[in-house]
Amino acid sequence: MNAVIDVQHLKKTFNKEVALQDVSFTIQKGEIFGFLGPSGSGKTTTIKILTAQTEKTAGDVLLFGRPADEMKQSKNRKRFGILTDNSGLYTRLSIEENLLLYSNLYQLPNSAVKEALDFVNLYSERKKKISQLSKGMIQRVTLARAIMHKPELLFLDEPTSALDPVNTQHIYNGLRRLNEMGTTIFLTTHDMSEAEILCDRVAFLHKGKIRAIGSPKQLKKEFGDDSITVELKNGASEIIQNGEQDAQKLFHWMQSNEVSRIYTNEPTLGNIFMQITGSDLV
Amino acid sequence: MNISMTRIQAIFMKDYKEFSRNYAVSLMALMPLIMAILYNQTGANTISMYFLPINMVFSIVTAYVQCCLIAEEKEKNTLRGLMLSPASLGDILIGKSLFVFILTLVVVATTILFVGYEPANLFIIAIALVFSAVFYIAMGTVCGLFAKSIMEGSIIILPVIFIFPFGPLFQGLSEAFPVLKVAEWLPSSQLVLLAEALEGTYTTMDIIVPIATIIVWSLVTWIVAGFIYKKRMVD
């Protein structure tokens, strides 16, 4: 497996304030990696260091096996795409004019614009000026710009934060398609369900430190329990653990047709984050 | 440096479209023309009088518009988008300057026509005007890169708007205030000195010194612009 991103002991300070402390993680080619944490935890700073927009204070940061600093070189910038909440668009130009500019900067055929607009479901709106668009539509245009050149590595900073459920689902499907085509995705979010749906692995970032890392399944196994909750028709509910005694109890309720609902007590990623850090994700 | 004509053209076209739809800035380009027409009515017929509106074109149109275009890119975070694209430093700076350069040439030519100035040597004056345009674009770029918003850019550019066009007039006060002698070395003053020299008998040095001075100003300012641009690539 090839590491697309390799970060070891990354530290970043702004004046005397520590933004990132001893952050280490590796992302393999073809992975969708979620960087989860509340606002101010250091997610955007990490993206900025990885894309050579901010200099690190200490540590090693490699992209495609080369120091991240080399991403400043124009030939390397074709290898990644980026969507951040401050990715600006030209408000007096139309959606199509904005994307045409970037298709020329990346020296792509004009068909790339249509493909990107189809990806974000905006082709029919392409003549609209950016100044006339809602926040969600602007987010989709920015995403179209980020994926237009089919980058090997895609950085997405809160990609669906301003989208409605229908467009969110549309974007998820598109991102999965891109990933199947080989694009590695580095995603930051504080939306745990988004991470569960999309990510192969996640890292919990809290106050500049990684507190846990692994696949959602692994983390749930590690931090959750095996119990299930049984709701009975009389309104009572009971927690059932593995074991002979609880199994007998459950068998009895089912035999006497008393069970109304059964559900697992598997924690959500949000529950695990809270358990580890003692704070919420928002 | 890696330069791509496709990218330069793309940035040029983008700036043209943005400028033509931004009336607050595009109307500024008309101001010197209106002034030139009014100026013509006053019967101005000396070189320094002819060059006051011409030097104003350089500060109001060239430096101001360039400053606003770049400051707006910073305000709306679009400059970072360009910096993260494969466009090189050269592509972005040339692309962003080309539109203002062409606009400057058109407005300067029209102003010269309106004020009724007929250069004794059009070729040499044209060379000096082209290098002056290059200098003022660099000046606008530096101011734009320093500004965080158009509003801030409009304030940062004010010294350029006041000092450079009126620099040649300061020379008249240099006997009373010797410190004002430095105004002689402003590119705007050198342009006037060159034009005055061309009207009479002149030596080669009378031509080389003003043009070389303007080129040195341009080079130094562009080096500063490139340095600030590189600094702005990272937070």
pLDDT at B25: 84
Residue A5's pLDDT band (cuts 50, 70, 90): very high
> What ipTM does the predicted assembly reach?
0.86
CB contact (8 A) between residue A105 and residue B7: yes
Average of per-residue pLDDT across B96-107: 95
Q: Mean of the per-residue pLDDT values for chain B?
A: 90
Option in B10, B78, B80 nearest A104 (CB): B10
Average of per-residue pLDDT across B228-233: 85
- Claim: this prediction has a pTM higher than 0.90: no
State the DSSP code for A174.
Answer: H
Nearest CA in chain A to B11: A101
SS3 A108: coil
Residue A282's pLDDT band (cuts 50, 70, 90): low
Residue A281's pLDDT band (cuts 50, 70, 90): low
Tell me if B37 sits within 8 A of B91, measured CB to CB.
Answer: no
Domain parsing of chain A, residue ranges: 1-79+151-224+268-282, 93-147, 225-265
Average of per-residue pLDDT across B165-187: 81
- Please give the Cα distance from B143 to B229 (Å, whole number): 11
Best of A101, A130, A133 to mutate (most B CBs within 10 Å, chain B): A101
pLDDT at B48: 85
Query: How is domain A1-79+151-224+268-282 classified at the CATH fold level?
Result: Rossmann fold (3.40.50)
pLDDT at A280: 67
Average of per-residue pLDDT across B80-96: 91
Average of per-residue pLDDT across A250-258: 93
Residue B1 pLDDT greater than 70, yes or no: no
pLDDT at B151: 93
Residue A1 pLDDT greater than 90, yes or no: no
Tell me if A250 sits within 8 A of A230, measured CB to CB.
Answer: yes
Residue A94's pLDDT band (cuts 50, 70, 90): very high
A127 touches chain B (CB under 8 A): no
d(CA B20, nearest CA chain A) in Å:
10
Contacts of B130 (CB under 8 A, 6+ apart): B105
Q: Which residue has the higher pLDDT, B134 or B23?
A: B134
pLDDT, tens digit (0-9, with 9 covering 90-100), for B116-159: 889 989 999 999 999 999 999 999 999 999 999 999 999 999 99
pLDDT, tens digit (0-9, with 9 covering 90-100), for A180-220: 989 999 999 888 888 888 999 999 999 899 999 999 999 98
SS3 B202: coil
Helices (H), chain A: 43-50, 74-77, 95-105, 111-119, 135-147, 165-180, 192-198, 216-223, 244-255, 269-277
